[in-house]
Chain A
Amino acid sequence: MFENVHEIILKVTRDCNLRCAYCYVRNKDRYRGERMSFALFKRLIDRYVLDQQKNSPDRQKQTLSLIFHGGEPTLLDTHELIRFMNYARRKIPYIQFGMQTNLTNISAELAIILQKYGISPGISADGWHSRFNQLRTRRQSKTIFRNVRLLKQYGVNCAPLIIINKLNIRSILTNIQRMLKIFGLQDIKANYVENIYTSDPAYPEVSADELITQLFLPVINQLKKKQVIVETNIAGMLDRFFQTSLFGVNNDPDKDNVSGNCYMKFCAGGNNIVEVDADGAVCSCGRWDAVHEVCQLGFINTADPWGLRSYGKAACLQIQKARQLRKKHCDICPAQNICSYGCLAFAYAKYKDFRIREELVCAYHLKAKKYLQENSSLILKAYAGARQWPVRKIHKKIFTVELPAGFPPLNEAQISQMPGWSVVNVDGQNLLQVILC
């Protein structure tokens, strides 16, 4: 079950002191007082170690991230938290800890623990002002930012995850910039909300057009002005766009190419990342919240010879995704190399079927790809600056970009497809030359 796992989302409780409108943990009231026991946690760690031993030596994992999650993980008693981490570290020396929290329940004692165990918590916060956080909490916005300062005093860095919704989309770039200042960061992740409680594209969801006009274009314009990429998902989109444009597509089917967890063609749910609930249930990803049997891998003590049972479940999910990719002809879509391909779990929760949301995912990425393609040269210049690739101005409308060591060779056939781009050899080094149209 845990043979391939490099990240465990550990829901130590599904209880929470907040009731965020769009949370995918349904019916939280039934989980009041739920807490994972140390005995169960111990069985989880022991099971992980055992499953790793089943791997062939060349496939045994050398990294494991254990992310305390929920509900609200800070509801777990701090002494239990320490007990959990000490046991885990004894058994798995290479383990790293993380936490996703709403940051309303932080004490100096907890801050010291976070600092001691090297935890930089992820914070759920939709904006710097209470009006942006109304879908999460009406009273505790100030508490959140007070606790950010408290954590900083103890040398604990934290990073917010913004959920883009109707309340914060209009000033999302300003919101992001203020949050960067508060948290002392270079960039922030902002995911768009999906209303899984109704099958309509309903409040508080935003449309693809709003994402383009209010998020994507402002972030790109700021990139062009200041050579910074302030939002992580868009940074990833740019990375994929330029990787394809400069080096071509490298997708060796025989390589164990793990490229991420979420919002990609084939997510890692049930394979490299699993969720473990406070009652010991193991599932592909918390976003499924038990809406479909295929996401339920079993329990911590479920027999799984060769890891075959859990593999079958993970493969079953990805086969559903593959069917949708075929149905939508994603393999020949112009945006295929920048797309996030949506979240199957959220789509299933919303529509009770497997789908890629065309009106949101396809619409957004096709528009983004068109814009990137039409403005590729100017964006490349700014992107190279943001990535600290040396850019030399040869002429008013001509510049060269030098790729740092460690990058693959420039793909001339791919580059020739971009207007004004070519590969030139200068002093024995291949550089990308761009002529602005």
Chain B
Amino acid sequence: MTIEELDTCTLCGKPMAEILVLTEVTLEIHSRYHREDDTFENMNGLQKKTSEFLCEECLQQFVEKLTSFTTERRSFASPEAAAQDGQDVPAVK
């Protein structure tokens, strides 16, 4: 889909006339199976590459939620990274 074909924000439905900044967010996901022999194998086409077009409010919310998610996950993976981010280090991993 191209920008010219759009009428609304594809998430919240805000009409194009009311949108100040339109952002195309493309998500490419691809899952691979990690075999016992330490090689990777495709999973019968388990992947997607899709786009949504966000108004400025949806973009802001999207960035906030994704950022908090990644920050939370980093705190589990690496206490040092969590400390760098200014997060409390969890007592139990």
Contacts and interface: CB of A to CB of B under 8 A. Distances in A.
Interface of A: 3-4, 53-56, 58-59, 251-260, 264-268, 271-272, 305-308, 311, 314-315, 318, 322, 325-326, 329, 331-332
17 contacts: A3-B48, A54-B1, A54-B51, A54-B52, A253-B42, A257-B44, A264-B44, A266-B43, A268-B44, A268-B45, A305-B10, A306-B52, A307-B48, A314-B46, A315-B46, A318-B46, A331-B36
Q: B-side binding surface: helix, strand, loop or mixed?
A: strand
Interface in B26-61: 26-33, 35-37, 39-52
Contacts of B48: 3-4, 55, 59, 306-308, 311
B45 A271 contact: yes
A331 B36 CA distance: 6
Given A326-B36, A331-B36, A331-B37, A258 B44 contact: yes
B19 interface: no
A327 to B, nearest CB: 11
Given A3-B50, A54-B1, A322 B33 contact: yes
Contacts of B36: 326, 329, 331-332
Contacts of A258: 44-45
B11 interface: yes
A4 B44 CA distance: 11
B53 to A, nearest CB: 10
A100 to B, nearest CB: 22
Nearest to A304: B50
A253 B45 contact: no
Contacts of A3: 48, 50
B44 A259 contact: yes
A331 B29 CA distance: 24
Given A251-B41, A322-B33, A305 B46 contact: no
B50 A56 contact: yes
Contacts of A268: 44-45
B10 A318 contact: no
A228 B30 CA distance: 39
B51 A318 contact: no
Contacts, number: 93
A272 B36 CA distance: 26
B51 A56 contact: yes
Interface residues of B, number: 30
B29 A256 contact: no
A270 B7 CA distance: 29
Contacts of B28: 56
Given A54-B51, A54-B52, A307-B50, A257 B35 contact: no
Nearest to A331: B36
A331 B35 contact: yes
Contacts of B50: 3, 54-56, 306-307
A362 to B, nearest CB: 16
B42 A255 contact: yes
A56 B44 contact: no
Contacts of B35: 331
Contact of A59 (B1, B42, B46, B49): B49
A326 to B, nearest CB: 7
Given A4-B47, A264-B44, A331-B35, 4 more contacts: A256-B45, A260-B44, A265-B43, A305-B11
A45 B20 CA distance: 32
A256 B41 CA distance: 11
Contact of A271 (B11, B32, B39, B44): B44
B73 to A, nearest CB: 16
A271 B31 CA distance: 12
A171 to B, nearest CB: 35
A272 B49 contact: no
Contacts of A325: 33
Contact of A332 (B11, B25, B37): B37
